[in-house]
Amino acid sequence: MIKAILIFNNHGKPRLIRFYQYFAEDMQQQIIRETFHLVSKRDDNVCNFLEGGSLIGGSDYKLIYRHYATLYFVFCVDSSESELGILDLIQVFVETLDKCFENVCELDLIFHMDKVHYILQEVVMGGMVLETNMNEIVAQVELQNRMEKSEGGLSAAPARAVSAVKNMNLPEMPRNINIGDINIKVPSLSPF
Amino acid sequence: MALKIVKGSIDRMFDKNLQDLVRGIRNHKEEEAKYISTCIDEIKQELKQDNIAVKANAVCKLTYLQMLGYDVSWAAFNIVEVMSSSKFTYKRIGYLAASQCFHESTDVIMLTTNQIRKDLSSPNQYDTGVALTGLSCFVTPDLARDLANDIMTLMSHTKPYIRKKAVLIMYKVFLKYPESLRPAFPRLKEKLEDPDPGVQSAAVNVICELARRNPKNYLSLAPLFFKLMTSSTNNWVLIKIIKLFGALTPLEPRLGKKLIEPLTNLIHSTSAMSLLYECVNTVIAVLISLSSGMPNHSASIQLCVQKLRILIEDSDQNLKYLGLLAMSKILKTHPKSVQSHKDLILQCLDDKDESIRLRALDLLYGMVSKKNLMEIVKKLMLHVDKAEGTTYRDELLTKIIDICSQSNYQYITNFEWYISILVELTRLEGTRHGHLIASQMLDVAIRVKAIRGFAVAQMATLLDNAHLLTGNVQRKGICEVLYAAAWICGEFSEHLENPMQTLEAMLRPKVATLPGHIQAVYVQNAAKLFATVLKSGEGSADSTAAQEMMIERLPLFVQSANLEVQERASCILQLVKYIQKLQQKDVEIAEEVIALFAGELNPVAPKAQKKVPVPEGLDLDAWINEPPSESESEDEQPKAIFSKEEPKHSRPRHTEVDEKELAKRREARKQEQANNPFYIKASPSSQKVYQEAPGVEHIPVVQIDLTVPLKVPGLPMSDQYVKLEEERRQKDRADKKKKEKKKRKEKRSGRGKKHDSGPESEEDITPAHMVDIVTEEMPENALPSDDDDKDPNDPHKALDIDLDKPLADSEKLPVRSHRAAEVLKSPAEDGDAERSVSQEPKKKSSKEKKEKKKDKDRDRKKSKEEKKKKKHKHEDKGEDLLGGQEDEPVVQSEETSEVAAPPSSTTAEVSDLDFWLSNAPVPSNTQGAATVAAAAAADPVPEAASGAAPDSEPEEPKDTEAEETKSSKHKKKKQKKEKEEKEKKKKKKHHHHHRHSDAGGEESVQNGTVEEEEPLPPMSNYCLLAENSYIKMMLEDADQVNDIQGNLQDGSQVVVSVIFENKCESFLKSMEFNVLDSLNSKLQRPEGSGAHDGLTVPFQLPPGVSNEARFVFTMQSIVMPQKLKGTLTFIVKNEDSSTHEKLDFKLHFTCTSYLITTPCYSDAFAKLLESGDLKCSSVKLEGISMPFHHLLARICFHHHFSVVERIDSCASMYSRSIQGHHVCLLVKTSDQTVSIDAKCDEPTLLGNVLDEIKQTFSQC
């Protein structure tokens, strides 16, 4: 079982956290700090396994991590997982991110945390490895994205409209602008 | 103007999406908290909007904030709202947020049950997927209970994407709702062989996870996993399975033997390091579990060690780490093979990577010997000095102590060296392990009598220099050592050189700053020291000084805040004052004071208390007093607590007994020691040796210069011991050589070259002094059981469920009420086809109309239009009959199975495994399995089973006769019914044996349904399966009629009814029916009986009487035919004599016997074919001259099929196996050639059934 998946950068700023066991928010932050502390002081040419910190798990748990450029990908797993297998899985996950974001970099993770979660959900579910075949993962993610697109996305219609409204130069606009097709219910207009 | 307002309000609603929020936070680095709090305010506003898009956006932002550590549980309800949106986009956001911040105590979770259920059954697979993913993170016991059934249905979903998620989430469901494990397990097991590799891998994953916690319940799956292991190519699956085997082998060593070969092959063949590593790991586990050596045992070990060495030498640090990790597992059982790689491991101790150093340390534990212990510890001490981090240093410290103390100090040859090591370790700053060092000191001083003198001297030094240990705040942990030091000095004060000085050190005012429990020990041991001083010279200057010191200093402790210190101090103070008074009266008191502390304490084993057996007749849980009544008011509660503790009072009573016994034993031991010439009493002789030895006068051991600080300049003390030891050994060796030379001189025969100058062997090293290591005491008749220290709170404990027991009726997953009826109707609550079968008949007509349009393309329906009406009429009839009685057979067979053989699957299961492990040849892959099956099926199958075929024909008439006589002789209640059956049976027999029955097509179809109609399904289908062969073998005095029929309700049970008929003139009794279980099928035996015990037939047979007994068999897999050998033993009793008789028989379970005639509507049938889940196969029969309806009748009758539709010379047929496999046939005939196209979701089963059908017709 995987107990937690943490992604943070070289300064310990979390980019994605995914706990498969409940910890309160402050505890989560403490775990991130501790894990960062453990991982960050290690050279890049030492092994990728680390006996777990005191906060997360006990002797049965291991931290397995990889360091890519500015990001640490840390998996906390118990003894039922194969160490090298998890290392491979991290690689698969990162390659998948790379495919989905086209040359992934930290900024992608910063601004699209939700998307990263959705991709992760196709790899690991409830702490167990769901799929290891990258093509299958990418295919499922893309199918879901296409579905989202067909629904118009989270902010597609309204956001487009909003940015149009934001960008418009009011004095130059014609008086009778039709805002009927903005799909929002505008709250209480002033009486005048 | 209005537009501006509109713009403003839109701005407010939409000013930020997730990206904007992130950007904003990045732009406000200085005042991030403030910025976020305004954002949260905005989010709160947004959540108040009605627009779901706005809400979703807000929830999305909250998910981000949650990652930054903000508690967002206040928005839980809004999250639920977003989850229930109909749009996938929003739903996904909602579920993501829920999975991040919901947990078991989130109260809104209970509102989600119906929403989740709706999503689970959504036609859109991604809605379902998202719900499953979310649920996996926040499933609660309630959700698990309510949704278990829905998820179980999803396990058979048509989309593999959903199937694999459903399979995985079942693990979470099991954890939260353990009752679901047994009902769901069969289906989970099925998924191990799912065509989709992802689903298969998920199922393996879940079962491995379950089995890891409770391996013994999954031992019976070993054959299945073995098959998977040899056939799978997916490394993920292989790794999981191999890991699982690693967990199973300790329980079943024979499994290990079976595994070694394939694993070794994998090790040689695989290129994947991860797989190689896991294989090596499991081979190690196997070798550990094998107690006795097997032929290529050492070869495997060598292979493993060799592969691991390659890993360790690899430049990849990960492999190095794992290599060391695995090496440490070998170490436990095969230290020799690891020791040869000592160089490599010592090298790793210097690695820059801490993880690797730690692993190497673990290995050192097993590498030490008497010879190298000092050297290794010296090296470690150097590391201790160098180590910068406290964690690593603490680890080193514990390792040093572990290494030295392992197996009762086995490797320590010089305890003085060890004590000095311990003393050196006390110099460590900031260690947390003070108590560890202290307990080692105590342990050594107590158990190694010879060392006490030295230990006491060292401890006295420690006490004297206590300020070094306590001076620093950082050293708090280490002052525990003083506890040990004080106790040792007090207890063994007779060894003290200068007790006065030590007494002074113990009573220094600074002691009052130590922790209470240490002060208490100080005070107590000061008293002991005082007694010693008193004894050494009553009235001397020393004793008076000591007395004065006690009286002067003790009041400090009397004022202590610590109760223990205070109490002891005041007690002892009064004692000393009293002694003083007595002494003033010139009373000799020393002896009496010493008597206060007389006797020796023996070490007690840590588990001794636990192992004291509860005396017979003592119930610790029973109330001694009347239990307090429930209605007691609150003010009476203290009383209740008191009476609760009452039972504990019984404990001291029997420990008292033990104490008496202990005293007795102690006495006996003293006697024994006194009389034992080999028992070496403590003597300071060793010290003298050092004094006399040349060139070692500077060693501070003897001339303890009390002003010398603990850290000796130059060499640390222990190093000197290493040198000394070296010298001593050399001397020893020289002595030995001398002796040997002498010996050789004495007898010149010269056989003793083997001792010559070779490297020093273990035995050559003699300990510096003989030590008597006192063993730990255990209570008399201690319980031998090793208490398992399982954590009672472990959630996995609840999953320790026996999975092999058949499911009871009560064990069903909770279903929503309006669905319950449906579930009841379809016995195995199955897939779509199943459902439509159990739909109400009134819907049928409309459905069929629909189907008419739909299925025109099917060739077999080309000309059906006009015939259809007719057929329907017929089918209706069949169906109606069925409708009335469907449930009955099920109940009946269930009942009988319980009566005949109370299920005792565990033993049977084990014996099945036994069989697999002992001799069953295991097919190396699935294909192999198929060929084996085919070979088995090639035997003459249905009517004339097994090799008895040639004999079977002539037996038949006799058989019928037997039947006739039987029907008149049955005496049981069911007599009447049986008669009817017999008649029917006869009819059928005629019908197929003599082949001139004129039963038409319609009739023969009815044949199939008639069977259903009979109240006793086990009796309904006497197809003479193996009857003939039995009769042949039973010519003597008994007669068995055999019938095999699957039990509809339980997917793995088959009921075999056997009629025993006594054909001789004697009385038959004590009949025992026994079958040699196979890998796949086993006889269910009553609980408690052994795996090879027979079942007693529950009746006796007077001459000429017949009776029937039923036996339940449990089948693992039904895809292959089975043959079981069995024996019937019985006693034949005449008037004057009785003889034991035995009768061998063979039970033949054909694949056909696992099929159950199940009616199927044509539309359901079509749907089934369309579903695409079925594998295709076909067979051609040549030279069949019988009419088509006749042919169909035979298939129906012999192979338990029912006709779905028939058009001219073409018919579709259907049957279902007891495990729910659908089998569909399309039978076509054209002059003498019959072609059967078949589809089934289990190709092996299908192949076998077709072979059996072929066989049936080749007999004609």
Q: Do A166 and B274 touch (CB under 8 A)?
A: no
Task: Tell me: pLDDT of B123 over 70.
Answer: yes
pLDDT of residue B94: 93
List the single residue in A22, A46, A185 with the smallest CB-CB distance to B50.
Answer: A185
Please work out, in degrees rounded to the nearest 5, the angle formed at the alpha carbon of residue B290 by the alpha carbons of B284 and B296.
75
Q: Which of A143-157, B357-371, B817-831, B1147-1161 has the lowest mean pLDDT?
A: B817-831
Least confident of B377-386, B523-532, B1125-1134: B1125-1134
Q: Is the pLDDT of residue B170 over 90?
A: yes
pLDDT at residue A96 is higher than 90: yes
Confidence label for B141 from pLDDT (cuts 50, 70 and 90): very high
Q: For residue B774, what are its two tokens?
A: 């006192």
Q: Which of B19, B201, B206 comes nearest A111 by C-beta?
A: B19
Q: What pLDDT does B975 receive?
A: 47
Task: Using an 8 Å CB-CB cutoff, list chain A residues near B202.
Answer: 128, 130
A43 and B352: CB-CB below 8 Å?
A: yes
Chain B touched by A126 (CB under 8 Å) = yes
Query: Exposed (0-12), middle (13-18) or buried (19+): which is B1167, by Cβ within 10 Å?
Result: middle
Lowest-pLDDT range of B206-210, B547-551, B632-636 = B632-636
Is B314 exposed, middle or buried, given 0-12, 13-18 or 19+ CB atoms closer than 10 A? middle
Kindly state the average pLDDT of the residues A132-152. 90
Contact at 8 Å (CB) between B804 and B905? yes
Q: What is the pLDDT of residue B969?
A: 44
Least confident span in A41-45, A126-130, B966-970, B1162-1166? B966-970
Stretch B374-394: mean pLDDT? 80
Question: A111 and B89 in contact by Cβ < 8 A?
Answer: no
Using the Cα atoms of residue B709, residue B713, residue B716 and residue B720 in order, give the sign of their dihedral: negative
Give the whole-angstrom CA distance, residue B359 versus residue B361. 5
Q: Does B432 touch chain A (CB under 8 A)?
A: no
Which of the residues A84, A89, A168 would you substitute to probe the B interface, choosing the one with the greatest number of B C-beta atoms within 10 Å?
A84
Structure tokens at B721: 């011991």
Over residues B94-99, the mean pLDDT reads 94
pLDDT band at A120 (very low <50, low <70, confident <90, very high): very high
- Which pLDDT belongs to residue A2? 92
Alpha-helical (H) ranges within B410-471 are 415-425, 434-447, 452-464, 466-470
Q: Is the pLDDT of residue B711 over 60?
A: no
Contact B1215, B1157 (CB under 8 A): yes
Chain B hits for A139, CB-CB cut-off 8 Å, are none
Query: Residue B1140: pLDDT above 70?
Result: yes
Inter-chain CB proximity A184 and B10 less than 8 Å? yes
Nearest by Cα to B38 from B21, B52, B56, B26: B21
Of all residues in chain A, the percent with pLDDT exceeding 90 is 47
- Residue of chain B nearest A20, judged by CA positions: B137
* Most confidently predicted of A171-185, B256-270, B838-852: B256-270
Nearest CB partner across the interface for A179, out of B6, B18, B19 = B6
User: What's the mean pLDDT in B1044-1049?
Assistant: 46
Size of interface A-B (CB pairs under 8 A): 196
Q: Measured between CB atoms, does A185 come within 8 Å of chain B?
A: yes
**Contact B13/A at CB under 8 A:** yes
Tell me which chain B residue has its CA closest to the CA of residue A30: B69
Where residue B1055 falls among pLDDT bands split at 50, 70, 90? Answer: confident
**Distance separating alpha carbons of residues B1194 and B1181, to the nearest angstrom:** 14
Judge whether residue B194 has pLDDT over 70.
yes
> Which residues of A fall within a CB distance of 8 Å from B133?
121, 125-126
* Predicted pLDDT at B173: 93
Q: Which of B132, B178, B135 is nearest to B795 (CA)?
A: B178
Residues of A in contact with B19 (CB under 8 A): 111-112
Closest by CA position to B71, among listed B32, B102, B25: B102
Residue B1033 has pLDDT above 50, yes or no: no
**CA-based torsion, A40, A41, A42, A44: positive or negative:** positive
Q: Pick the residue from chain A with its C-alpha nearest to B173.
A: A126
Q: How many CA atoms lie within 13 A of B365 on its CB side?
A: 27
- Assign 3-state DSSP to chain A and report helix, strand, coil percentages, each to 5: 45, 20, 40
Q: What is the pLDDT of residue B776?
A: 62
- In this prediction, residues B314-324 reach a mean pLDDT of 88
Whether the CA torsion B758, B761, B766, B767 is positive or negative: it is positive
- The verdict on a CB contact (< 8 Å) between A155 and B104 is no
Confidence of residue A72 (pLDDT cuts 50, 70, 90): very high
Measure the CA–CA gap between B710 and B718, rounded to whole angstroms.
Answer: 12
Task: With CB atoms and an 8 Å threshold, state whether A128 touches B89.
Answer: no
Considering only B5-19, B293-307, B1134-1148, which range has the smallest mean pLDDT?
Answer: B5-19
CB distance from A78 to chain B under 8 Å?
no
Chain A residues closer than 8 Å to B124 by CB: 147
Q: Which residues, at least 6 apart from A33, have a Cβ–Cβ distance to it below 8 Å?
A: A12
pLDDT for residue B462 is more than 60: yes
**pLDDT tens across B32-90, in order?**
889 999 999 989 988 988 888 888 999 999 999 999 999 988 999 999 999 999 899 99
CB contact under 8 Å between B69 and A48, yes or no, is no
Q: How far is A100 from chain B (nearest CA, A)?
A: 18
Residues 6+ apart with CB under 8 A from B112: B80, B83, B98, B143
pLDDT(A86) > 90: yes
pLDDT digit string, tens, across residues B963-979: 444 444 444 444 444 44
Percentage of chain A surpassing pLDDT 70?
A: 76
Measured N-to-C along each axis, helices B197-213 and B160-176 cross at an angle, to the nearest 10 degrees, of 10
Q: Say yes or no: B320 contacts chain A, CB-CB below 8 A.
A: yes
Which residue has better confidence, B902 or B375?
B375
Q: Do A20 and B355 touch (CB under 8 A)?
A: no
Q: Are A183 and B54 in contact (CB under 8 A)?
A: no
* Chain-chain contact of A82 with B126 (C-beta, under 8 angstroms): no
Of the spans A94-98, A176-180, B852-856, B978-982, which averages the highest pLDDT?
A94-98
The model's pLDDT over B915-937, given as tens digits with 9 standing for 90+, comes to 676 654 444 443 433 333 333 33
Report whether pLDDT(B766) > 50. yes
Of all residues in chain B, the percent with pLDDT exceeding 90 is 9
Query: Residue B1060: beta bridge partners?
Result: B1040, B1107
Highest mean pLDDT among B124-138, B451-465, B1107-1121: B124-138
- Would the pLDDT of B1196 be above 90? no
Q: Calculate ∠ Cα A128-A132-A136, nearest 5°.
A: 120
Q: Distance (Å, rounded) from C-alpha B132 to C-alpha B130?
A: 5
Work out the mean pLDDT of chain B and round it to a whole number.
71
Instruction: Show residues of chain B in contact with A155, CB under 8 Å.
Output: 14, 17, 53, 57
Of the listed ranges B425-434, B914-923, B1208-1217, the least confidently predicted one is B914-923
Question: Does residue B133 surpass a pLDDT of 60?
Answer: yes
Asked if the C-beta of A187 comes within 8 angstroms of chain B's C-beta atoms, the answer is: yes
- Average pLDDT in the B441-458 region? 86
Chain A touched by B68 (CB under 8 Å): yes
